[in-house]
Amino acid sequence: MRASIILAEDHVLVRQGLRRIIQEDPSMQVIHEAGDGLELLSLLKGSTPDVVILDISMPRLDGLEAAQMIKEQYPDIKIMILTMHREKNYFQKAKEIGVNGYVLKDEADTALNAAIKAVLEDKTYYSPLLA
């Protein structure tokens, strides 16, 4: 069975690129896309994916706030942050929330699918570029 994924990213072109990267792996499928955190939470009411991939900087409800709400309401969903933010405070907040992965957009083309697989195996993935 293919792993189901919801992408939450406010830039349509970025979402399309991420979808292509993810779906290069036949074991993974993007089932929905959201342009902000509120849209994502609405999608989760009707569909429970294996993994949610969130950008931090989104309108209406940012990725960290959405991640906190998902952890509280849907504790079985794996959460990955995919962001441009290398700053320690963002990473620290994500870890405090309990996200399963933190991937930088700079490495998405080479690391994203491996990070998703690690998270699906109940491991954590934190970008080595954060060190």
Contact 51, 77 (CB under 8 A): yes
Phi, psi torsion values for 49, nearest 5 degrees: -80, 170
Domain ranges of the chain: 3-126
**H/E segment holding residue 34:** strand 28-34
pTM: 0.94
> Tens-of-pLDDT digits for all 131 residues of the chain?
899 999 999 999 999 999 999 999 999 999 999 999 999 999 999 999 999 999 999 999 999 999 999 999 999 999 999 999 889 999 999 999 999 999 999 998 899 999 999 999 999 999 988 86
CATH T-level fold of 3-126 = Rossmann fold (3.40.50)
Q: Which of 41, 21, 13 is nearest to 113 (CA)?
A: 21
